[in-house]
Amino acid sequence: MDTRRPFLSADELARRAFLGTSVLSLGSIALACMTRRGAAQTPTGLNGEPLRDAPAPAAPGAPGAPAAPRAAYQLPRATAQRVILIFAAGGLSQLELFDEKPLLNQRRGEELPDSIRRGQRISGVTEKQGALPVVGSAFPFKSFGKSGLRLSELFREMGAFADDLCVVRSMQTDHVLHEAAMSILFSGSLQLGRPSWGSWISYALGSENQDLPEFVVMLSGHRDGGSPPHPRMWHNGYLPGRHQGCTFRGGSEPVYFVQNPKGVTDPARKSVLAKLGALNRLEGERAGDPEVATRIESYELAARMQTSVPELTDLSKEPADVLEQYGATPGKESFANNCLLARRLAERGVRFIQLMDGGWDHHYNIPVALKEKMQLADKPIAALLRDLKERHLLEDTLVIFCGEFGRTSYCEGPMSFASYGRDHQQLSGGLLLAGGGFRGGLAYGETDEWGWDVVKDPVHVHDLQATVLHALGLDHRQLVTRYQGRDFRLTDVAGNVLTPLLA
Amino acid sequence: MRFPVGRAWLAVLCGLVGASGSAAPAGVGDEASVSYLREVRPLLAQYCFKCHGPDEAARAEDLRLDLREGAFAARGSKQVIAPGDPARSLVWQRLSHADVELRMPPAEEAKQPSAAERATIERWIRQGAAWEDHWAFVPPVAPPLPSVRDAAWVRDPLDAFVRARLEQQGLAPRPEAGREAWLRRASLDLTGLPPTPAELDEFLADARDDAHARQVDRLLASPRYGERQAQEWLDLARYADTNGYQNDTPRQIWKWREWVIGAFNRNLPFDQFTIEQLAGDLLPNATLDQKVATGFNRNHPTNSEAGEEEDEYRSAYVIDRVNTTSTAFMGLTLACVQCHDHKYDPLSQRDYYGFYAFFNNIKERDSDYKNPRPSIAVPNPDQAPRLADLKARIDGLKARLEKEDPLSDAAQSAWEARALERLGEPIAWTTVTPAGMLARNGTQLKQLEDGSILSTGTAAVKDTYDFLLQPGQRKIAALRIEVLPDPSAPEQGLGRASDGRFILTALELRNSTFSDSEDPPLVYLSTAQADLNQKVKEDPASYDMFPGSIESAIVVEPVGGEGKGRGFGRGWSIVDDERKRPHEAVLVPLAVLETNESSVLRLALHHTSSAKFKSLIGRLRLSVTDDPRVREWLMPAQTKLWSALGPFPAEDALAAYTTAFAIEKDLGERPLDLKQSYAKAAPGSAAKPPAEKPGPAEFVGPPAPPELVAKAEAAPADDKPADKPAAKPVEKAAEKPAGKDAEQPAPPEKLTWNEERLWRDGAPARLKGANAAWYVTRKVHSTRARTAELAVDGPAGFKLWLNGEPVHAVAPEPALAAAKKPGEPGKKDEAKKDEAKPDDDEEPAEPEKDEFDFAAMFGESRSKTEKRFRIGLRQGENELVLKLVFAGEPRDEARGPGGGAEEKKPGPRQGGDGGSFTFRLTAEGDDVLTHEVATALRREALERANPTPSLAADTAAAPAPATGGQTGPHVASARPAATGAPAAPATPGAQAAPAPTEPKVSLVGELSAPLKSAEEVNPLTPAERRRKVLREHYRTVIDPVGRVLAAELRALEEEQRELERRVPQTMVMEELEQPRQAYVFGRGLYKNRGADIGPGTPAVLPPLDAALPKNRLGLARWLVSGRHPLTARVLVNRIWQQYFGLGLVRTAEDFGVRSEPPTHPELLDHLALTLVESGWDLKALHKRIVLSATYRQDATLTPAALERDPENRLLARGPRLRLSAEMVRDQALAVAGLLVEKQGGESVKPRQPKNAWKTVEGNTASSYQRHKDERQYRRSLYVYWKRGAPYPSLLNFDAAKRDACTVSRATTTTPLQALTLLNDPVFVECAKMFAQRLLKERQALGRARDPQPAEQDALRLRYGFRLCTSRAPTEQEAQLLLELLAEQRQHYQADLEAARKLLEVGDARLDPELDVREAAAWTGVASALLNLDATLHRG
């Protein structure tokens, strides 16, 4: 049987589209992980109603997008088509990475002055500690690239892309705890249950590829400390289920149950699927329910996924030098593999690729632990940037490397010349952006000389979100969905587009 | 997907269906009349209310359009809205203004009304601006039953409302569904499981008039009914088995789930159901059951992230309760009002925080390793009586041991005199000033003139003090560490933590006298005792407060770096007021240390507690003595190091126990020669060829050549090749697989005695070798003839020889001793198979760990398997020999890599590679002393001799400044102000003001008190404490009767603890005595405290009856008073949704002004009112719906119906709905004959993909250990719900995630569902067993007699189809199935290996008589049946 032949006629599909999503639903074409969007389908609000003034999911500037009127949330121009968000779970130590503070080295061991701290909230952990001695970076900073961007020596390979990097040194968030800060970063709100960043983008832009999910999440290394990732960081909240991030796991089964059971050969499975399709068709005729057609289609898609997903995640066909550049090993679960996979997904037009990397919560022993961590991260990210650049993908792919907050200027735990740690810091932090229309070689924002608080050009998480949406051609104030009688958006009730960050 | 509807739906509804007849006012002319509620108010809400609505802060121009008064107010010559006259209405003027500057909404607003929308408003005003209050806030009034033309159709009054509407729209209902379809629908809707073929047949044959009703009664009486209804309720209540936030740790609240199921089954009226869940604890004489019910509002996620601010998360929990309660019972989304007055609904922030105040008084605390509090124990029926019995007996014994007893007191005085005399002169201690000292993390140490050492400078968070001592030529019988209070320390305490405490987590003493090594050997300390032993808290969860003994700080293995692994907080500490007084600890080495001029002793004091930072000793002094008496006092029966010999393998544990290995011949010859070596094998074992005698894997190997070994009676065989040295007792988990070693031929092995320097009494020692015996021996030196109590734990059996004589033996239990050999059929084989499939994509099944065994985690509880008995020691040296026998547990229970954590856990453990052995020896006799008792005796005597009160000594510490003092020989009794001076009498005046002993850490203030022991709240004076210590010692250790009673008490208390640990816990609500003040939080942030606010209900709703208490109980009664406009409506709407997919109000979670109006408003009110009238009888309501003509309709869709009413809002047909996630799995299990039905109980862990938990686990989470027994086949309602990684297959079918209250689940159709049903091993296993059922069950063949094979196939397929879909297949369908069967047969006939592999999936085993190929073919067909769309629906 030709599993690709849709059961429904085009007319019927169109009619279903007209009827809108609901119980019968195109919403139930809703293929959480893989979805196909007919051109006739309009992006819908939660209720299944077409979004106000949002006739077509025309990704701005997307090649081949039908000429359709823009949705209210769509801007005339988009510089980015997709995002690769590399999340360093635990909180990046900006003082060792992005924000050079010689004073902290000079005043090492001295108590953070009250005039600087100004009673700002610190976490309960170091509050108990009593003393707050400042400590400088164990890693010297250097100038990189033509722009002379100052970054620490830990950017061994990424430094070569300094002129593509947009460094924010004035990141601020609303909370000093992992759970809360991650919640703000990923959903714009402390309240649980809101849609995540990737879900919003999947919802607004749809897919460039009919056979892959719009939003993919990959995890690595969360057993070595820090706050573990929670599905709420890629969950669809009250957006339709298909916008939930689809997690790809390492190993032989990247998506749960994607492999045939043992003892079921492809021909045996084909025979089951063929008869199942025929039986379901009869049921569709009997019950008159168009929903049955959706189910038949979902089985066809499932069968395709069983080959396409393992193919996509099989790195063994990548050339050896590419594998070497990333430090990737086919078949293994690693951050390097995920970076390479991110490129493969970006190539195939996945909108939002979220890499969750654990182990960045460096309360102790930064000189050793952060160095080790950066050795594992720097090379694959640099390889990813190189790869994207060579394939001209960096032009419209935005790469973000960030944590949920920064780390304190003062030391947490034992301090010696060989070892010190830093606690969570919500007032200041740093991150990197590259590609997708962001300005390269730029350092944005400034903190005081103790590296404690932002003194110039603060960037709130909502500003970052607004700016990224802007680059994707989306107006963060207009991209809303109504739930329980209220319109919600990613940036809650705040957020400013930071045009200086954009080229 | 089900989602709230918006305007688009309205358009559809209006267009297809027309406006509701009842709510709309009469039209003007032939223009359709405009409904305020349906059409106008949503527009005003969208475009105007933001600035002219309920939100006071945002209101502009003092204009309020959401209230009638504001909307029709006069403004100068005009009116805001002038009915009938748009031109005179300010609203319309501004909406239509030509000047963009003046037009509303302002141009900068993103949302602008369309021309059509503006026109609607104009038309409404022109038509007279009829005002309606929001329907949901107006209490329902009984609507008259509409008359319908086809009255015969009406089976229940509810049908009249539906039919009237259909007639209005010119629609006819579908005919009644066939009986099979109806019974399938009703069975799944009421019980969550499909009808069986037998049930279908019975119903089909039932010609009685009330056949349907009989079926409904049967279904409602089934316990499955409660499970099905509970499923819906768990979503609302956001039930889960984990805490949700960081690390997502486990919790116990399944007792609440059990309560919910039970409540539905006994048809607890909904008003009572509500009251008990919201406020069961506040009911007069609340029963345990009613308290359990309050778990409803404890199901929210909780955070235990370090560094949280208590108030912050606490307020988040209160907010969760408010939102859940208002959504579940009132369909109101109060969440918006959290931050500001509602933009659309007439709800203010005051309303919100008034509601908040009801839920703000819970005694909660979350930074806890156990259940978040409050939590109560709910004993199982078998536990309760034993607990009561234990309590009575314990209370009785305690009373006896504590009662006033002049006779005992007199005897005690006599003993005190004797003991004092024996103590004699005080020990002379010589202060040692360190030759070098350093704190590793930068704290400064300073030598003071009195020989003490002061810790100064900035205190490191954690630090280790290193001291180099050069004691010179001397004998050291004991060392002493004095800890001294210092004015420079916080609270003038002993330590540098903020509350003046110290915690010594580890102590290492090394001696380089005979070693020039960098890392000289540790000195084995036989005992260490402090002058004060404060009781370890019963509740180790409050870990940052409990003191431990100095003994707990002694390390036998070198501590690395920063004392890793010991940072959890255990260690020597002194709490309460005593932390301001000097104390001391005495360390006694195994043997007297003899030092010389070149000797260096290194002492390391680790302070690495994570519980309290900077808990460093503030000031200390070190001294030594050569006086051996201290050793005798403290160790009347002094034990020496153990030596161990083994393992001696045997057939099984019993053989190991009974076989007298060569060594036993030597036992009579004393003393034992520890240099002797022994053959490993049992006597005579060489006789059998090894092949006939399979032993555990470890011992399988080539037979060793016979060899005669000195004193061995027989030649060895079957030796375990060298795993040298044989005894590595403290083995870590990372051992080489034994099999590997076994492959290499090795010389036969002789076993020799090994001295075990790492074994300490009371701590488990690991011994290798399953089904094997070990011999261990040690010397015990007793100061006189005495009895001693021995406690042995761990081995399956043991024998004890004392001085060469056998004195005690415990044989292994037969269960442990036998049937543990490999090669046997059954479990073991499967286990081996599992082992052979390392790539099996599932979690390994592991022996279950008790997630809540905190006592064991802290090493506080003794095992109940411990065996205790007495022996008589003679004066001088005694020799103990123990033979320990370990059983061999099958390897399939072996731990995965995660098992390492368990290594620390004491108690008996039988592993494939041996076991553990724990030993304690407690000397008895009237000369038994502890350092604490000895100190108390001396001080007591001093006080009696010199009764001058001295405040300085014992009360509020006012230690001398750390100057002066003396160095050199230092006599304890002469110490000023420390131990020597007499104490003050315990007069109230002399007592120090009770100091705040605990700092305000991040605990909830109110809770600190109940968590402390009585002693901490009212600290004893030192004199009181001394007398208590002496009396307790006398009565429980010295007095021969008391000793026995005390031993019994200890045993009972241990049993009680053990039992209590097993008693299920459940989280509940508990009200604070003093309500916590609630505030309006500005912008919803807990830190922005605004006005004080008390409990109150939203102003727009009827007021709280004055007679009701202003607490949760009052609130609950208010909700179910019957006069509340929302409660019953919201409830019946949700139940309606259960049956028809959508509620009468589509936005089941929101009944506010932006909700969708009901499709059948009068029906909604009718149902709500009749429910209340029935006494909130839910079963009656379910019965009405299921028996109604509306529900009975056929569900077939026609193109016309689809066009006309795609969502079936008008109910012109029966509902065709997809099964819920739980139903999909339960149905598959039922069809396969695997379903295990048992009500209630703990959550179950069926098979799930490997590592599904791994990625979301923090360091403290445990990995998934699936249940291999029948629990894996229980209903999905009981599947363990981990918020961070919910059960994947259920999630793929849209199960709610349970982070927050969920009213309606989405219904999606995704390829993931297809993959789950086709490939998830759980469903494959179902298909396999389903196939077996089809092949074996006689019923499959129906009534046919000896049908031909072809006919048999058809009958079986028909049976299978009917099991899945509750109907017979059509001819076409039957034909397709036959074809599929033929194809599958063809596949598996050709591929036996594939057939075998397929049938290996899952734990359930097929009948071996079945033909493998045939079973596999049928499995393929069964899988297709389980995947049918008809199987996944009830239509």
* DSSP H stretches of helix in B801-840: 814-817, 827-836
- Helix %, strand %, coil % for chain B, to 5? 40, 15, 45
Please give the helix or strand (H or E) that residue A421 lies within, else none: strand A421-425
Lowest mean pLDDT across A413-422, B810-819, B1269-1278, B1349-1358: B810-819
Q: For residue range B37-52, what is the model confidence (pLDDT) as tens digits?
A: 778 887 887 788 878 8
Q: What integer is the mean pLDDT of A14-31?
A: 32
What residues of chain A lie within 8 A of the CB of B1395, using their CB?
Answer: 263
- Residue B185, C-beta contacts closer than 8 angstroms, at least 6 positions apart: B177, B1191, B1195, B1214, B1215, B1434, B1435
For residue range B604-644, list pLDDT tens digits in order.
999 887 667 788 999 999 999 999 999 988 998 988 999 99
B427: which DSSP letter? Answer: P
- pLDDT given for residue B267 in this prediction: 98
Omega within 30 of 0 (cis) for the link into B105: yes
- Chain B residues within an 8 Å CB radius of A258: 1315, 1319
Nearest-by-Cβ selection for A179 from B246, B336, B1428: B246
pLDDT > 50? residue A57: no
B369-373, B567-571, B740-744, range with the lowest pLDDT: B740-744
Contact A494/B at CB under 8 A: no
Q: In B, which residues are within 8 Å of A267 by CB distance?
A: 1387
Of B335, B1309, B1316, the CB nearest to A30: B1309
Compute the nearest-CA separation of A161 from chain B (Å). Answer: 31
Q: C-alpha A315: how far from its chain's center? A: 21
The residue type found at A403 is: G
The Cα A55–Cα A76 span in angstroms is 15
d(CA A38, CA B376): 55
Q: How many CB atoms lie within 10 A of CB B326?
A: 23
Is residue A3 scored above 70 in pLDDT? Answer: no
* The pLDDT value given to residue B506: 87
Nearest residue to A213 via CA among A309, A130, A293, A333 = A309
- The letter for the amino acid at B404 is E
**Got the DSSP string for A202-229?**
HHHH--S-TTS-SEEEEEE--SSSSPPP
Read off the pLDDT band of B68 (50, 70, 90): confident
Cα B987 to Cα B321: distance, rounded to the nearest angstrom: 50
B643-686 pLDDT, tens per residue?
A: 999 889 888 888 889 888 888 888 877 688 888 888 876 555 44
Is B1149 in Cβ contact with A261 (below 8 Å)?
A: no
Cβ-contact A382, A404 below 8 angstroms: no
Are the C-beta atoms of A420 and A84 separated by less than 8 Å?
A: no
Binary contact (B1216, A287; C-beta < 8 A): yes
Assess whether pLDDT exceeds 60 at residue B438: yes
pLDDT of residue B848: 47
Chain B nearest CA to A159, separation (Å): 30
* A390 Cβ neighbours under 8 A, 6+ residues apart: none
Is the pLDDT reported for residue B736 higher than 50?
no
Distance of CA B721 to the CA centre of its chain: 44
At B1432, is the pLDDT very low, low, confident or very high (cuts 50, 70, 90)?
very high
Angle at A195 between CA A193 and CA A200, to 5 degrees: 175
- Flag whether residue A498 sits within 8 Å of chain B, measured between CB atoms: no
Confidence class for position B1140, pLDDT limits 50, 70, 90 = very high
Q: Residue B996 above 80 pLDDT?
A: no
Q: What SS3 string covers B970-1016?
A: EEHHHCCCCCCCCCCCCCHHHCCCCCCCCCCCCCCHHHHHHHCCHHH
- The model's pLDDT over A121-150, given as tens digits with 9 standing for 90+, comes to 777 667 766 678 899 999 999 999 999 999
Interchain CB distance below 8 Å, A278 and B1319: no
Rounded Cα–Cα distance for residues B712 and A274 (Å) = 73
Classified as helix, coil or strand, B67 is coil
Of B1315, B1320, B1376, Cβ closest to residue A278? B1376
Check: CB of residue A280 under 8 Å from CB of residue B1429. Answer: yes
Report pLDDT for B338: 65
The partner residue sitting opposite B1311, judged by closest CB among A125, A128, A302, is A302
Which of chain A's residues have a Cβ under 8 Å away from the Cβ of B1299? 192-193, 232
- On whether any CB of chain B is under 8 Å from the CB of A36, the answer is no
**Alpha-carbon gap: A162 to the closest alpha carbon of chain B (Å):** 32
pLDDT at B148: 94
Model pLDDT, residue B79: 85
What average pLDDT does range B1312-1336 have in this prediction? 96
Q: Tell me the C-alpha distance between A477 and B741, whole Å.
A: 68
Question: Is the pLDDT confidence value at A46 over 70?
Answer: no
State the average pLDDT for chain B. 80
pLDDT digits (tens, 9 = 90+) for B482-512: 999 999 999 899 999 888 889 898 898 998 8
Nearest-CA distance from B301 to chain A in Å? Answer: 10
List CB contacts of B484: < 8 A, sequence separation 6 or more.
Answer: B452, B494, B582, B618, B619, B620, B621, B959, B962, B978
Cβ-Cβ contacts under 8 Å, B5 against chain A: 47-49
Give this complex's ipTM: 0.72
Picking from A25, A248, A484, A489 by the largest number of B CB atoms within 10 A of its own CB, the best residue to mutate is A484
pLDDT-derived band of residue B1067, with 50, 70 and 90 as boundaries?
very high
What is the pLDDT confidence band of residue B1079, given thresholds at 50, 70 and 90? confident
Give yes or no for residue A77 having a pLDDT over 70: yes
Which residues in chain B have their CB less than 8 angstroms from residue A112's CB? Answer: none
What is the model's pLDDT at position B907?
A: 37
Q: Looking at the predicted structure, is the pLDDT value of residue B1078 above 90?
A: no
d(CA B728, CA B736): 13
Query: Which pLDDT belongs to residue A187?
Result: 93
Cα distance between residue B184 and residue B1214, in whole Å: 13
3-state secondary structure of A376: helix
Give the number of beta-carbon pairs within 8 Å between A and B: 362
* pLDDT tens, position by position, B257-292: 999 999 999 999 999 999 999 999 999 999 999 999
Read off the pLDDT of each residue in A295-301 and give the average, rounded to a whole number: 88
A 10 A CB-CB count for B308 gives 24
pLDDT over 80 (residue B1069): yes
Q: Which residues, in sequence order, are bridge partners of residue B923?
A: B788
* Distance of alpha carbon B613 from the chain centroid: 28
What does the pLDDT read at residue B776?
Answer: 94
Closest to B1112 measured CA to CA, from B1129, B1096, B1124, B1101: B1096
Q: Say yes or no: A327 contacts chain B, CB-CB below 8 A.
A: no
Residue A333 contacts B where some CB pair is shorter than 8 Å: no
* Calpha distance B439→A127 (Å, rounded): 23
Tell me if chain B has a CB within 8 Å of the CB of A9. Answer: no
Judging by beta carbons within 10 Å of its beta carbon (0-12, 13-18, 19+), is residue B1002 exposed, middle or buried?
middle
Out of B1319, B1429, B1433, the one facing A260 most closely (by C-beta) is B1319
Cβ of A272 within 8 Å of Cβ of B1318? The answer is yes
Which ranges of B1078-1220 does DSSP label H, i.e. alpha helix? 1112-1119, 1127-1140, 1161-1173, 1178-1187, 1189-1192, 1199-1204
Query: Which of the pair, B701 or B499, is modelled with greater confidence?
Result: B499
Q: A440-449, A452-461, B288-297, B531-540: which has the minimum mean pLDDT?
A: B531-540
Helix-, strand-, coil-residue percentages of chain A, each rounded to 5: 35, 15, 50
pLDDT at site B271: 97
* SS3 label, residue B809: strand
B336 and A127 in contact by Cβ < 8 A? no
pLDDT score recorded for residue B1398 = 96
Find the range with the poorest average confidence among A89-93, B3-7, B799-803, B1266-1270: B3-7
Q: How many helices (H) and strands (E) does chain B have?
A: 44, 38
Residue A10 has pLDDT above 60, yes or no: no
More confident residue, A9 or B411: B411
- In this prediction, residues A21-40 reach a mean pLDDT of 31
Contact list in A for residue B1396 (CB cut-off 8 A) is 263
> What's the pLDDT at B836?
36
With 80 as the cut, is the pLDDT of residue A51 above it? no
Residue B1416 with chain A: CB contacts under 8 Å? 263
B154-213 residue pLDDT tens:
999 999 999 999 999 999 999 999 999 999 999 999 999 999 999 999 999 999 999 999
Asked whether the beta carbons of residue A298 and residue B1306 sit closer than 8 angstroms, the reply is: no
Contacts of A425 (CB under 8 A, 6+ apart): A91, A176, A405, A406, A407, A408, A409, A452
- The helix or strand, by DSSP H or E, that contains position B1363, with its residue range, turns out to be helix B1349-1365
Residues 115-174 of A with CB under 8 A from B: 123-131, 133
> Which of B309, B1318, B1400 to substitute to test the interface with A, most A CBs within 10 Å?
B1318
The one-letter code for the residue type at B416 is E
Q: What is the DSSP letter of A422?
A: E
CB contact under 8 A, A123 and B1433: no
Which residues from B are below 8 Å from A29, CB to CB?
1309
The answer to whether residue A68 neighbours chain B at the CB level (below 8 Å) is: no
User: Mean pLDDT throughout B1002-1023?
Assistant: 48
**Do the Cβ atoms of B333 and A484 come within 8 Å?**
yes
On chain A, the residues whose CB falls within 8 A of the CB of B1312 are: 31-33, 255-257, 302
Q: Residues, chain A, total? A: 503
A257 touches chain B (CB under 8 A): yes
Q: Any chain B CB within 8 A of the CB of A262? A: yes
**pLDDT band per the 50, 70, 90 thresholds, residue A484:** low
Residue B371 to residues B252, B484, B1066, B1067, Cα–Cα distance (Å): 6, 38, 8, 7
Q: What is the pLDDT of residue B1368?
A: 96
**For residue B538, pLDDT beyond 60:** no
* pLDDT value of position A417: 67
Instruction: Kindly give, in sequence order, each residue whose CB lies less than 8 Å from that of residue A4, ignoring residues fewer than 6 positions away.
Output: A300, A304
Q: What is the 3-state secondary structure (H, E, C) of B275-292?
A: HHHHHHHHCCCCCHHHHH
> Which of residues 263 through 292 in chain A touch B, CB cutoff 8 A?
263-265, 267-269, 271-272, 275-276, 278-280, 282-284, 286-292
Q: Which of helix, strand or coil describes residue B225? A: helix
Contacts of B246 in chain A (CB under 8 A): 178-179, 227-228
How do residues B96-148 score in pLDDT, each as one tens digit? 888 888 888 888 777 788 888 888 889 999 888 888 788 899 899 999 999 99
Taking CB atoms and an 8 Å cutoff, what residues of chain A touch B1202? 19, 24, 288, 290
pLDDT band at A207 (very low <50, low <70, confident <90, very high): confident
| Share above pLDDT 90 across residues of chain B, in percent, rounded to a whole number | 44
Cα–Cα distance measured from residue B1011 to residue B539, given in angstroms and rounded to the nearest whole number: 8
The distance of B638 to chain A (nearest Cα, Å) reads 40
Does the structure show a pLDDT above 60 at B756? yes
Cα–Cα distances in Å, from B1046 out to A133, B397, B532, B1346? 52, 8, 20, 76
Beta strands of B199-240 (E only): which ranges? none
- Identify which has the larger pLDDT, B808 or A8: B808
Could you give the CA distance from residue B1249 to residue B1285 in angstroms, rounded to a whole number? 11
pLDDT above 70: percentage of residues in chain B: 77
Whether B954 shows a pLDDT value over 70: the answer reads: no
Q: Residue B1281: which pLDDT band, with cuts at 50, 70 and 90?
A: very high
Dump the DSSP string for A138-196: SS-EEEETTTTEEEETT-TTGGGGGGGEEEE--EE-S-SSHHHHHHHHHHSSSSTTPPP
Q: What digits encode the pLDDT tens for the residues A351-377?
A: 999 999 888 988 888 998 899 999 999
CA B708 to chain centre: 57
Note whether B485 and B581 are within 8 A (CB): yes
Q: Is B955 left (phi over 0), alpha (psi -120 to 50) or beta?
A: beta
Residue B393, SS3 per DSSP: helix
When CB atoms are compared, the residue of B333, B1206, B1259 closest to A22 is B1206
